[in-house]
Amino acid sequence: MDIVFIQGLKIDTVIGIFDWERKIRQDVVLDIEMSADIKAASESDHIEQTLDYKAVSKRLIDFVRGSEFQLVETLAQKITDIILDEFGVEKVKLTLNKGEAVTGAHGVGVIIERCRG
């Protein structure tokens, strides 16, 4: 399998368990690796035969901006569900970084891997 990736996709959303977090928007940053067979696209040079990372990005931006989850774990799972279900990806690895949510840390979040089926 080949890997199509999106790195550093920054999206603002409502995320967190504290009352003050429910009243503001925070950035989350996504790094995504998607396993897909892109051999046909490499031979034909046609976007219809590959995984369109722009389409994936647009879908995730719309979803994440409209979401209001408490846990990054929940948001991460929903994102991987969308990628697997809507884009025919066989496997996805997602790093979701909530940024400086912990004093002194450059980032905190989760890394999850999910497979189709």
Note the pTM of the prediction, 2 decimals.
Answer: 0.94
pLDDT of residue 78: 98
83 pLDDT higher than 90: yes
100 pLDDT higher than 80: no
* 39-67: average pLDDT: 95
The domain 2-115: what is its CATH number?
Answer: 3.30.1130.10
pLDDT of residue 32: 98
H runs (alpha helix) in the chain: 19-22, 39-44, 53-66, 72-87
* 42-68: average pLDDT: 95
pLDDT of residue 71: 97
> In the structure, what pLDDT confidence band is assigned to residue 44 with cuts at 50, 70 and 90?
very high
pLDDT of residue 23: 96
Residue 3, φ and ψ in degrees, nearest 5: -120, 125
Distance CA 65, CA 28 (A): 10
pLDDT of residue 70: 97
Average confidence score pLDDT of the chain: 95
pLDDT of residue 62: 98
- Give CA torsion, residues 19, 22, 28, 34, to 10 deg: 110
